[in-house]
Structure 1
Amino acid sequence: MAGTTCRYDICRFCQERFAQTSGPGRKKEYCSLECRRKAQRERDGRLGQQARSALPLGRRIAEDLQALAAALLEAEYDARPLKELLGHAREVTREVEHYMAAAVQDARNQAMSWEQVAEAAQLSATTARTRWPEGRVKERLKRRAAQRAVLRQPGAPLMDDPDAAERSPRSQAAERASAKLASALSHLHRASDLTVREVAEQTSLSPSYISRILSGERTPQWPVVSALAELFGGEPDELRVLFDSAHGLVAPTRHAIPDAVARLRAALRGLHLAAGRPHSGVIRKASHGTLSTQAIGEILGGVMVPGWEQTAALVTALGGWPADVRPLWEAVHYTFLLCTDPEEGPRHLTAPPSESD
């Protein structure tokens, strides 16, 4: 009949040839409804396996909570106004709610029943189902990710306090990086056996200014940092990421892979330097056995790019904040970070295949 020219396609599930009728509407991809249902079940199974093998959704939120709680504590020590203290508290409370939803979803991904979730949360199973349905949790975490992406932009204020941009997560990270930069320079200075006056004579800087740099009271510009690092016998590149973070310089979210790897390695070596370059055994003990001495040596030596769990464990063991290093790690792994974290496991540095391979 006119308008019903018949052609053949291959079923996406069973790979059998089937008749495809031309005409208006969406073309069929499967030869039968049964094949379509089987394909859907197969996709659901793959997604479920991916969710079970991924890092927990709650882990990154817990890392961000660490930074927010520290900001609240600092504000309390500084005797900040009540409005500011309550603003910090609201941020912590909101993030705790996000964490609870993510933790429940992690448990559900691990096949925990609603009855078990309810017992852990001290709620009824009906209330737990109503409070944390999968679709609502995913939408909530999606909104959270979008909000935090906005807050990470230069100059973005906190949602609860528009007048407190200086206390944004980005600014808090800058303060921490400034302290680490001073610690790294101070360690290099002590190792050099140079007096402050000798440093002043060789750099044309005043002794008092050098002392303020080494104590963390002043964060100098890069030429000064670089000159001091070289004079002390260090590698300026190891301090570059700390310097950029201390000055609130936001690097592009995507780099060429070699550049991204170099920045991550520099950040980790900078933290290692700021911690006084502890031996691998000391770091292993501080990581509570998460890292082996061999892995620590390979990571700091630039032989291996670690998975996120190893990266976070190393940063924490060195006295740093995982949330500060996370963007650098993501810059290396962004092709794998579509919806959730990639599967864990360290990746050894190898040259990527060329386009002609």
Structure 2
Amino acid sequence: MTPKDFGPAYCLNPHCGKPIGRNAGSGRPRTYCSDACGRAYRRAREKSPTPDTVAHNDFTDQVAADLGRVVNHLLYRALAQQPLAALSLIRTVEGDLEDLKAALVQQARDQRQKNPDIAECLGLPPEQLTRKLSADAVRRRMESRPLRTRTRVRLPRQAALPTAPSPRTALPPRTAPAPRIPGQRGPAAGGGEMTPSRARDPDRNPAGPAAVLTRALSHLQRLSGRSLRELADDTDVSASYVSRVLSGERCPSWKVTRLFTLACGGDPAEVQPLWVAARGQAPSQRQSLPAALRGLHLAAARPHTEQIGAHTRLTAHTITGMLNGTALPSWEDVEELAHALNAEAQPLRPLWNAACAALAAPLPPAAGPVAKVIG
């Protein structure tokens, strides 16, 4: 039998490329010119970052940048004697710190740091670190983080960070008004009387948060055309459980709700405020008012703006701006839109208050001047 002609072969190490002499005998053909060259290439390949490592590094950079901006903003509010606005930002800082801690822990793991050494830096037992900051916990934080940054309002940099007060000088007066608490109403333009609510049908009894979530999920299921069995497979639950969720008998966990929304082609950012309200929880700073309004719009089967305007005093342009987040509406407009979509407006109050606080003062400069203030 004529031996096979294997043709020319070259070393798989891209930095080498030398020809390899192959024999026609039995055994696995050589892929590297030498064992030393193969070991060097495998070591270099192990050191190259994996896609997960790149994602973890990007997540760490994103959280660190967001945290720096929020801390700068918080210091500005505190030095400008705006306690309510500063307190509203503390929750954001606390959430960012937790995200950053999880990101740094995972980054240390990617760098092959030992778990006891990581736990020692945090002052935690190694088993508690593994339980509270597992790889799955970091992944969940990475998945939920874009819900905030995607809708964040970017403000122009108009004013410098005020310096710390000295015994001889005082802070300048505030140029921006303090954020108005949603439960309060300002005076009317023509006098001192309070402006009444413009919401239609005050005795209508709009649907509660649980019913709104059920309507939103049901509408997503109808739009997708997917069967209960298909959705059950995508959400890792039974078809009967999906049926009870769509009928309002069960309020699913956020994991199931998120998987359900993605399986139906929806946006979890629009559904999460509805789920938080249905669970009776306080909204987090990662949620935004436009996303919550789009969730109510989804639960109402997404009626046209003209149809909404026919039952309210809102124009189509105003409604579109409220849903897209291009302008901050008044509380009366938010209340009227929520009632027009047959939903309670009360769960939207904290989100509207946070949006007002974000616009109460100009954004401070980057992190450079802050170090001088602290020092």
- TM-score (normalised: structure 1): 0.45
- TM-score (normalised: structure 2): 0.43
Higher relative contact order (CA 8 A, sep 6+): 2
Please state which structure has a larger fraction of its residues in helix.
1
Bigger radius of gyration, 1 or 2? Answer: 2
